[in-house]
Copies of this chain bind each other. A is one copy, B any other.
Amino acid sequence: MPHVQIHWFEGRTAEQKRELAEALTNEICRIGRCEPESVGIVFTDVDTSDWARAGKLFSDK
């Protein structure tokens, strides 16, 4: 039942998400010893104006 939530900057392509979903699931099953069917992954694209580090919006960096 691993449920993986990934927040990252918007701009990745469907192909990158496709490839990453497969790669992450393989590693989670290999190392975490679980079945692929049990692994859920949700991608959340975030605008750089909605993410801050060290008090500054990334859109302002």
Contacts and interface: CB of A to CB of B under 8 A. Distances in A.
Interface of A: 1-9, 12, 14, 16-28, 30-34, 36-37, 39-46, 49-60
Q: How many copies of this kind of chain does the complex include?
A: 6
B22 A56 contact: yes
A22 to B, nearest CB: 4
Given A24-B27, A31-B19, A56-B22, A51 B14 contact: no
Contact of A50 (B43, B50, B56): B43
A5 B42 CA distance: 10
A55 B32 contact: no
Contacts of A42: 3, 7, 46, 50-52
